[in-house]
Amino acid sequence: MENKPLNQKLFDEPYKFEFFQAVRLLERIFPERSAVTRSVTPQTEVVRFRSNASLRFPPSEIYEIIETDDEFSDKKKIEMFVNFMGMLGIVGVLPVHYTELAVERARYGDKAFWAFLDIFSHRAVSMFFRAWEKYRFPVQYERGNDDFTAYLFDFIGLGTQGLHGKMSLDDENLLPYGGLILQKPHSTSALEQILADYFRVKAKIQQFSGQWLSLDEESITRLGKANSSLGTTAIAGTRVWDYQSKFRVVLGSLKFTEFQAFLPNGTAYQPMLSMIRFMTGEELDFEVQLKLKAKEVPSTILTTRAKRRPMLGWTSFLKTKPFKQDDEQVILQTGN
């Protein structure tokens, strides 16, 4: 079994590689050089394409890949001889006698005619590669200048650069859910699906969980002064209960490691808040309830070790025997 590095195998056995794959590998092997068709001068590009001046049957797309001295710099230049297109060769666009002439001259050490025609071969093959690359989204994405990703950002409302980088998660993480985000108004089902898929936990939205809203000074009833008309403006107290302005996100049942990640000091807490806020906007408040699996509820041990250190109100459970039901005590107020 061969254990050659991939870059060595590419030069030793280029006929085993497909053309587009070989070019992409060369761009990865020599990242300091310009990508194909991305430079003003071909001399600085990662590879120079040449025709295989031969009338033999082409058994593969690539005949040979070699490193030669570059007369314009102290670096080596890469030359790839291709069989499938170009000026010369069995599939070349020029009549066969041009290939015969180039081979005859090369036999006597004169490769000027061959090199001259390869100026056009290089350009033709380069544009062929770029045309292939244009409609391959993964390739464009790797270069960081693809239009397709920009179109997806337009769909989800992040079409301008000024809107990027405002959340606690990578903006691109929202792109797989573009179909759900695009549907307005956003439904509880859409939010449940996004949270469940992204965090790999069960998610449930409880609507109309309600909250107390404090009244401003102008709305408080003062007998004989303001807001004291019975049945119209009079209110008993300084706050009112509002059902429709708040909902609850229930996550779980969770393993203890997952439970810790969703706590305010955990790695998933801020990304979760950003994702929920992006979907719901600023109109609604919400809280997060974490359901911990019964068998995962830990005993409280007073220790300074980071993994077992109890946190009051979050992981400090008064446990004397195994829990029979999942714990649902932890409800995080998100400060909305």
Say whether pLDDT at 42 is over 70. yes
The pLDDT assigned to 215 comes to 87
Q: What is the mean pLDDT of residues 314-331?
A: 90
- Distance (Å, whole) CA 311 – CA 305: 12
43 against 174, higher pLDDT:
174
The pLDDT assigned to 17 comes to 94
Please identify which residue in the block is written with the tokens 């001046």: 53
Helix, strand, coil percentages (3-state) for the chain, rounded to 5, are: 40, 20, 45
- Distance (Å, whole) CA 124 – CA 94: 13
- Distance (Å, whole) CA 209 – CA 51: 72
Q: What percent of the chain has pLDDT over 90?
A: 63
Please count the residues of the chain: 336
Q: Which of 20, 69, 22 is nearest to 43 (CA)?
A: 69
223 against 83, higher pLDDT:
83
Alpha-carbon dihedral angle through residues 122, 124, 129, 134, given to the nearest 10 degrees:
140
Say whether pLDDT at 98 is over 90. yes
Please identify which residue in the block is written with the tokens 């230049």: 77
- Distance (Å, whole) CA 56 – CA 129: 24
Q: What is the mean pLDDT of residues 17-44?
A: 89
CB atoms within 10 A of CB 296: 17
The answer, as to whether pTM is greater than 0.85, is: no
Confidence band, pLDDT 50/70/90 cuts, at residue 311: confident
Which sign does the torsion angle of CA 162, 168, 170, 174 carry? negative
Q: What is the mean pLDDT of residues 14-20?
A: 94
- Distance (Å, whole) CA 273 – CA 260: 15
